[in-house]
Amino acid sequence: MRSHARPPLAPGGYELRLDQQVADGGQSLGALQGVVRHIELTAPRFNLPASEVHSVFPPPNATGAFDNRLAHCAVGRCRGSGARTPET
């Protein structure tokens, strides 16, 4: 596991463009209409010390159909501002 990973994209606005050509045996069958989407990356990133992470799903370097599963991270004992003692 890594203690942290820098996000590959900096915060800001991005434009995504998709164009597709269709061919059969080298003969062009035409092009599909292009799509343009605009996205904005604004959420702050955070990290956890590797010693605080108990497990993650999907596991690192896993392959498979995870599109219908919720990714999650199990952490160790809470030591942040939400940590409480039995008396509080």
Domain-located, residue 83: no
Q: Which pLDDT tens digit goes with each residue over 5-45?
A: 666 778 889 999 999 988 898 888 888 889 999 999 877 66
Domain count across the chain: 1
| DSSP run (H or E) holding 72 | strand 72-75
Residue 24: inside a domain, yes or no? yes
Count of beta carbons in the 10 Å neighbourhood of residue 85: 5
Residue at 47 is within a domain: yes
Least confident piece of the model among 32-36, 55-59, 78-82: 78-82
| Residue 5: per-residue pLDDT | 65
What's the whole-number average pLDDT of the chain?
A: 80
Residue 86 lies in a domain: no
- Let me know if residue 87 belongs to a domain: no
Residue 88 domain flag: no
pLDDT for residue 15 = 95
Cβ-Cβ contacts under 8 Å for 42 (sequence gap 6 or more): 11
In a domain, 6, yes or no: no
Domain range for 70 is 12-75
Are residues 21 and 31 in contact, defined by beta-carbon separation less than 8 angstroms? yes
